[in-house]
A and B are shown apart, each in its own frame.
Chain A
Amino acid sequence: MTDLPGYPSRRNFLKASAAGVALSGLAAQAKAQETTPPVPLEDYDRAYLTAAEWAFVMAATARLIPSDGDGPGAIETRVPVFIDLQLAGDYGTADDWYMEGPHDPDAEPARGWQTPLTPAEIYRQAIPVFDAWCEETHGATFAELDAERKDAALTSLQNGDVALDSEIRDFFTILLANTKEGYFADPQYGGNHEMQSWVYIGFPGARAAYRAWPERHNEKYPLGPVSISGERA
């Protein structure tokens, strides 16, 4: 199979999963339910993002939480799926936010969400602007750049060196926050696939009962996590 440029290959995915198994301890992993593997990201049926937006989100999240570090990356944990589903849902449409205005997109960041755009609209408007900037500065759209240039481009975006209108100026902050959310949220929202991030950091998930443990200092809590829907890892 042909790997998409810049994406972790299936082989890397498998390697990273194997690392997750090693980290969580084989016994706990053996007790995880048998699940059918999810649809591969390249065949994923998107709920909100366009093909170009999807390519960008895949490429960007893969650099924000890369797969070649100690733990699982954004791709193995299916963070792009989380972002796509969130943008298609209440978060993307700012469904339960006050959005009537008056809006002051130039307001200090401490004053919160001041743009009239919803999160989904910000992704839709900001990605083409950033891709155009990448073409102009680095000679290709973001997804087509090599890893080093991707990092450089994201750093420019983070530092405000990419000219963005006030309405979409917070795009990097939002993208980074959503990437972290997709990495650590409960798997029912599409990310944190098989609770890999929880296994990696030793978070036991939705168990919420540790009466025997507060006094046991410097002792690793050995039992793997459980998700809200009852998945075990």
Chain B
Amino acid sequence: MKTFLRIVAGLALVGVVALLAFIFVPVQRTQPAEAPAADWEPAEGQGEYVLHASDCVACHTSDDGESLAGGRAIASPMGTIWSTNITPDPETGIGDWSYADFRAAMIDGLEPDGTHLYPAMPYENYRLMTEEDIRALYEYIMTEVEPVSNEVQETELSFPFNLRFGIRAWNWLALTHGPGFTPADVPELQQRGQYLVEGPGHCAACHSPRSVFMSQDGVTADEDSFLAGGVIDGWNAPALRGEGTDLAKWSVGELAAYLATGRNAHSTANGEMGLVVEHSLQKLTDEDNLAMAAFLKGIDGDAVDLPESFATAAGAIEVPAADSAGSATTEMLASADPDMPLGARLYMDNCVGCHFATGKGAPEIFPELQGNSMVVGSETMPLISVILNGAEVPSTAKRPMALRMQGYADRMSDDEVAELVTWLRGAWGNDASAVTAADVATVREADHGH
């Protein structure tokens, strides 16, 4: 019996020691596989370009705040995470961070004192960036960004998520790749696209599914789940590969135009993707947007047809006619038959002027509703919210006209919006579930709360 108790006590002691070690032994920073040459200098503008490609501004700038001075609320399933000040202010920003400190944040999600960053910071993806790009970004922030004194609200998640040492275990699961970039066996342009998509662009943060531990399921291009579609804050981040997706129907040029201008022949970027276009993608070179489009279109091994140019001034663009899947709905609407279902009648009374009886909208202005990932998505909140509150597509350098859809919250009741949304999700060959007036009421209520 004594022996048994001794064993139990011994095991308990080992457990306590292990736990204390887990909490208090500093995490080792991942060392670079190969460092740039000692005399390496970033090219002119490289750091700023990496900043744009990595979309740092979108999270590290609050709505009314100075660029990169932090303070934006990032909604997460665990609670609100406040983005930090990454200007080189020594007191409230990262002014006294060494390059090794900065690199550890980008690669391992560690603050200089070893505290774990919440993975809202996409170090799962940034650790795939090249040493040169991380160095260039560091030097740009330290030497060219104005320091801004801005004390940002501390992130205070509820138990157990406030125990940041727990992220150590999470990282064992999430950081099984990298650091550094491994190009796939594809042409050079597509490799460049792969790098931008996997690393700085951190597309997988939204467009890959999440594992049961909330880590990205599919971080690199060699995984089948990479960019297979995710759900973020009630929005579908659509799958960027596979049959039946929006992208399967788009050409390389149409996809590149969407990235560079927030609009193409089929769709427009709003919500989170609108912000990505506004703050990041429109600032990249045509070649890089083309590279990402080419990589994404070829991700499943299909041949990639590169266009000579995209999003050039084209004059009048023809409005597409109905296709076979959509012709029955189109004819029913065009008949103006008073016996049409209420959802269709509401479409005639509110939507048809822009999105047309074909449901195909008009290129670069009115998004196509047939097969639209937001219309048929598993998450219905975004579509309901757009109908109630409208939507905005940002002005971009190549397409300066900001587009605005009005909201219909005053024009339609919850019942009517539910009828309309349910009808839209079954029109023109769409095949998605019905929504209820209660679903609409929930969205209407949430939007009032903002």
Residues of A within 8 A of B (CB): 25, 27-28, 31, 207-209, 211-213, 221-224, 226, 229-230, 232
Contact of B336 among A31, A208, A223, A230 (CB under 8 A): A223
* A223 engages B338 (CB within 8 Å): yes
Nearest residue, chain A, Cβ from B355: A209
Contact indicator A207/B348 (Cβ below 8 Å): yes
Interchain CB contact under 8 A, A212 and B334 = yes
Do A31 and B338 have beta carbons less than 8 Å apart?
yes
Within 8 A of A (CB), among B338-391: 338-340, 342, 345, 348-350, 352-353, 356-357
Q: Contact at B411–A230, with CB atoms within 8 Å?
A: yes
Q: Is B154 an interface residue (CB 8 A)?
A: no
23 A-B pairs, CB-CB below 8 angstroms?
A25-B338, A28-B338, A31-B338, A31-B342, A207-B353, A208-B353, A209-B348, A209-B352, A209-B353, A211-B334, A211-B356, A213-B336, A221-B336, A222-B336, A222-B338, A223-B340, A223-B348, A224-B338, A226-B348, A230-B408, A230-B411, A230-B416, A232-B345
Q: A207-B349, A209-B353, A230-B350 are in contact. Are A223 and B337 (CB under 8 A)?
A: yes
CB-based contact B338/A211 at 8 Å: no
Residues of B within 8 A of A230 (CB): 349-350, 408, 411-412, 416
Closest to A30 in B: B338
Q: A232 CA to B348 CA in the complex, in Å?
A: 11
A-B pairs with the 3 shortest C-beta distances? A212-B334, A230-B411, A28-B338
Please report the C-alpha to C-alpha distance between residue A223 and residue B338 in the assembled complex, in whole angstroms. Answer: 5
Neighbouring A residues of B345 by C-beta, 8 Å: 31, 223, 232
Q: Which of B401-437 contact A (CB under 8 A)?
A: 408, 410-412, 416
Provide the residues of chain B in CB contact with A223, threshold 8 Å.
Answer: 336-338, 340, 345, 348
Chain B, Cβ-Cβ closest to A24: B338
Complex: A213 Cα to B348 Cα, angstroms: 14
Interfacial chain A residues near B335, Cβ < 8 Å = 222
Residues on the B chain within 8 Å of A211, using CB:
334, 356-357
Q: Say how far A211's CB is from chain B's closest CB, in angstroms.
A: 7
Question: Measured between alpha carbons, how far is A232 from B357 in the docked complex, in Å?
Answer: 19
**Complexed CA–CA distance, A208 and B416 (Å):** 20
* Most B Cβ at <10 Å: residue of A27, A224, A230: A230
Q: How far is the CA of A27 from the CA of B334 in the complex (A)?
A: 17
Partner among B333, B337, B353, B411 whose Cβ is within 8 Å of the Cβ of A229: B411
Report A-chain residues with C-beta under 8 Å of the C-beta of B334.
Answer: 211-213
CB-defined contacts of A224 to chain B, threshold 8 Å: 338
> Given the complex of chains A and B, what is the CA–CA distance between A211 and B357 in angstroms?
9
Q: A212 to B410: give the CA distance in the assembly, Å.
A: 28
- Chain A residue nearest to B331 (CB atoms) is A212
Q: Which residues of chain B have C-beta atoms less than 8 A from A25's C-beta?
A: 338
Which residues from chain A contact B342 at a C-beta distance below 8 Å?
31
CA–CA, A180 and B332, complex, Å? 35
Given A207-B353, A208-B353, A211-B357, CB of A229 within 8 Å of CB of B410:
yes
> What chain B residues lie within 8 Å of A209 (beta carbons)?
348, 352-353, 356-357
- Measured between beta carbons, the chain A residues less than 8 angstroms from B412 are 230
C-alpha gap A226/B350 in the complex (Å) = 9
Question: What residues of chain A lie closer than 8 Å to B353, measured between beta carbons?
Answer: 207-209
User: Which listed residue (B339, B349, B408) contacts A27, Cβ 8 A?
Assistant: B339
Within the assembled complex, what's the spacing in Å between the Cα atoms of A207 and B333?
A: 13
Least Cβ distance of A150 to chain B in Å? 38
Please indicate the chain B residues that have their CB under 8 angstroms from the CB of A208 in the complex. Answer: 353
Which of chain A's residues have a CB closer than 8 A to the CB of B336? 212-213, 221-223
List, in ascending order, chain B residues with CB within 8 A of A229's CB.
410-411
Q: Which residues of A contact B340 (CB under 8 A)?
A: 223
Given A211-B357, A212-B357, are A226 and B338 neighbors across the interface (CB < 8 Å)? no
**Cβ-closest chain B residue relative to A221:** B336
List of B residues within 8 angstroms of A232 by Cβ: 345, 349
- Closest A residue to B345 using CB positions: A31
The residue of chain A having its C-beta at the shortest distance from the C-beta of B408 within the complex is A230
Q: How far is the CA of A28 from the CA of B353 in the complex (A)?
A: 20
- Of all chain A residues, which has the CB nearest B412? A230
Cβ distance B361 to chain A, nearest Cβ, rounded Å: 12
- In angstroms, how far is the closest chain A Cβ from the Cβ of B333? 8
Question: Within the assembled complex, what's the spacing in Å between the Cα atoms of A203 and B277?
Answer: 43
Q: How far is the CB of A36 from chain B (nearest CB, A)?
A: 14
Smallest CB gap from A206: residue in B: B349
Residue ID in chain B nearest A220 by CB atoms = B336
Q: A28, A209, A222: which has the most chain B beta carbons within 10 Å? A: A209
Q: Are B357 and A226 in contact (CB under 8 A)?
A: no
- Mark B301-345 against chain A: 1 for CB-CB distance below 8 A, else 0: 000000000000000000000000000000001111111101001
**When chains A and B are docked, how far (Å) is the Cα of A113 from the Cα of B252?**
62
Q: Which residues of B contact A31 (CB under 8 A)?
A: 338, 342, 345
Contacts of A207 in B (CB 8 A): 348-349, 352-353
Q: Which of B335, B353, B357, B416 neighbours the largest number of chain A CB atoms within 10 Å of its CB?
A: B353
Knowing A25-B338, A27-B338, A212-B334, say if A226 contacts B410 (CB, 8 Å): no
For the complex, give the distance between the alpha carbons of A226 and B349 in Å: 6
Cα-based distance from A170 to B352 in the complex (angstroms)? 43
**Complex Cα–Cα for A208 and B335 (A):** 15
- The smallest C-beta distance from A229 to any residue of chain B, in angstroms, reads 6
Not counting A207-B349, A209-B356, A230-B350, a sample of 14 additional A-B residue pairs whose C-beta atoms are within 8 angstroms of each other reads A31-B338, A31-B342, A207-B352, A209-B348, A211-B356, A221-B336, A222-B336, A222-B337, A223-B336, A223-B348, A224-B338, A226-B348, A229-B410, A229-B411
